[in-house]
């Protein structure tokens, strides 16, 4: 587990990270969401031991990360602009990282290069942006580090490549306990891959929640009432987070389990009623509105 406790970091008069406390569990895909300047990159660099926090404490599997070689072997950090040696090819980077990460799986790496059509002897400088991001992710996966810290690493990957990396993550999580931590400014990039999401804003954490828990405790329904009295009766039992109307059709976003919501509607007469799926975007809009923020302005622009 990665435990981040009361971490702060400033650069001159700019407060990049402000008293953040959050735990990152094992064998989950943790999404770190926030606008540019929210503190995501700074936080990941402190977790990986590249930057020293001004205050607070970070432990990885109960080990401090600063100047701790054993702790750092458990982490592989991929920056938003992956670095490769000048004139190097993938095999050169594999050879170097094998020194830093003794458990680096060279055979698996060569197999993945073939799967993703990345020429192993071609200079990385001639790769496209997307190919470089794929290569960085494959190097991190094959390092066999327990924690893979990805800073905007999925930016620029096409849907097919994203699905391929997602499948590898699932396999590595199941087989050896990989824990990917993915920072992104784009909520939609995290929707299909993360188990848990932390939302950063102005250097602080607005919320950190398990996606499945959020999905289980917020529902979206559509209905047409038999009468105005039925609507009044329902409003005495529920408090909608959001209400939309189109003629006689009402659409509600409601807190509570699906069973609770359906039991409430069972007490009134409706001409039509159905439960609708919620996107991650809709869930986060509801969650951030509760704490006084509008995620549509923070993340969706």
From first to last of its 301 residues, the chain has per-residue pLDDT tens of 999 999 999 998 888 998 999 999 999 999 988 777 788 899 999 999 999 999 999 999 999 888 888 888 899 999 988 889 999 999 999 999 999 999 999 999 999 999 999 999 999 999 998 899 999 999 999 999 999 999 988 776 777 888 888 889 989 999 999 999 999 887 777 777 888 988 887 777 877 888 778 778 889 999 999 999 999 999 999 988 889 999 999 999 888 888 999 999 999 999 999 998 887 777 777 766 655 555 555 554 4
- Three-state DSSP class for 134? helix
Domain span at 260: 217-298
Question: Are 175 and 222 part of one and the same domain?
Answer: no
pLDDT at res. 288: 65
- Where residue 128 sits, what CATH number does that domain have? 3.40.50.300
Question: Are 79 and 143 part of one and the same domain?
Answer: yes
pLDDT at res. 38: 81
| Residues 217, 211: Cα–Cα separation, whole Å | 10
Question: Are 177 and 98 part of one and the same domain?
Answer: yes
| Residues 299, 52: Cα–Cα separation, whole Å | 28
Output the CA–CA distances (angstroms, integers) from residue 44 to 4, 71, 77, 95, in the order listed. 11, 14, 8, 25
| Residues 282, 158: Cα–Cα separation, whole Å | 24
- Looking only at the bridges linking them, the beta strands covering 55-60 and 63-64 are antiparallel
In the chain, DSSP assigns E strands to 2-11, 14-24, 30-33, 55-60, 63-64, 75-78, 147-151, 179-184, 196-201, 204-210, 218-225, 242-246, 249-255, 270-276
Q: Is 198 left (phi over 0), alpha (psi -120 to 50) or beta?
A: beta
pLDDT at res. 295: 55
The edge-to-edge listing of strands for the beta sheet with 270-276 is 242-246, 249-255, 218-225, 270-276
Instruction: State the burial class of residue 294 (Cβ atoms within 10 Å of its Cβ: 0-12, 13-18, 19+).
Output: exposed
Which of 210, 236, 267 terminates a domain? The answer is 210
Question: Are 184 and 221 part of one and the same domain?
Answer: no
Question: Are 123 and 186 part of one and the same domain?
Answer: yes
Output the CA–CA distances (angstroms, integers) from residue 245 to 120, 242, 273, in the order listed. 57, 10, 14
| Residues 71, 61: Cα–Cα separation, whole Å | 8
| Domain count within the chain | 2
* Locus of tokens 């969706």: 300
pLDDT at res. 301: 45
Please report how many Cα atoms fall inside a 13 Å half-sphere around the Cα of residue 202, on the Cβ side. Answer: 3
Question: Are 27 and 154 part of one and the same domain?
Answer: yes
Question: Are 230 and 269 part of one and the same domain?
Answer: yes
pLDDT at res. 185: 80
Question: Are 108 and 179 part of one and the same domain?
Answer: yes
Question: Are 133 and 155 part of one and the same domain?
Answer: yes
Question: Are 189 and 285 part of one and the same domain?
Answer: no
Question: Are 100 and 245 part of one and the same domain?
Answer: no
Which of 182, 210, 238 terminates a domain? The answer is 210
Which of 210, 240, 270 terminates a domain? The answer is 210
Evaluate whether 20 touches 54 at the Cβ level (below 8 Å): no
In 2-146, DSSP assigns E strands to 2-11, 14-24, 30-33, 55-60, 63-64, 75-78
**Cβ atoms < 10 Å from Cβ of 117:** 8
Question: Are 224 and 272 part of one and the same domain?
Answer: yes
pLDDT at res. 287: 66
- Where residue 251 sits, what CATH number does that domain have? 3.30.70
């Amino acid at each position: 587990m990665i435990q981040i406790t009361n971490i702060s970091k400033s650069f001159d008069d700019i407060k990049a990270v402000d008293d953040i406390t959050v735990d990152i569990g094992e064998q989950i895909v943790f999404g770190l969401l926030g606008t540019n300047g929210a503190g995501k990159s700074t936080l990941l660099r402190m977790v990986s031991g590249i930057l020293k926090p001004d205050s607070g404490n970070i432990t990885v599997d109960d080990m401090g990360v600063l100047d701790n070689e054993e702790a750092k072997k458990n982490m592989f950090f991929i920056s938003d602009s992956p670095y490769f040696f000048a004139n190097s090819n993938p095999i050169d980077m594999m050879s170097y990282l094998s020194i830093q990460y003794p458990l680096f799986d060279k055979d698996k790496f060569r197999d993945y290069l073939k799967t993703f059509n990345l020429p192993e002897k071609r200079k990385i400088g001639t790769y496209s942006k997307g190919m470089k991001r794929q290569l960085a992710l494959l190097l991190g996966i094959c390092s066999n580090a327990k924690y893979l810290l990805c800073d905007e690493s999925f930016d620029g990957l096409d849907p097919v490549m994203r699905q391929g990396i997602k499948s590898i993550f699932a396999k590595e999580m199941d087989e050896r306990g990989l824990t990917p931590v993915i920072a992104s400014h784009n909520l939609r990039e995290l929707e299909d891959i993360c188990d848990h999401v932390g939302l950063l804003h102005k250097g602080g954490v607005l919320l950190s929640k398990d996606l499945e828990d959020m999905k289980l405790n917020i529902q979206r329904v559509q209905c047409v009432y038999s009468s105005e009295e039925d609507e009044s009766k329902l409003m005495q039992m529920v408090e909608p987070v959001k209400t939309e109307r189109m003629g006689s059709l009402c659409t509600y976003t409601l807190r509570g389990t699906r069973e609770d919501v359906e039991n409430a509607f069972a007490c009134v007469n409706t001409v039509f009623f159905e439960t609708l799926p919620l996107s991650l975007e809709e869930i986060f809009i509801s969650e951030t509105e509760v704490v006084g923020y509008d995620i549509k302005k923070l993340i969706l622009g």
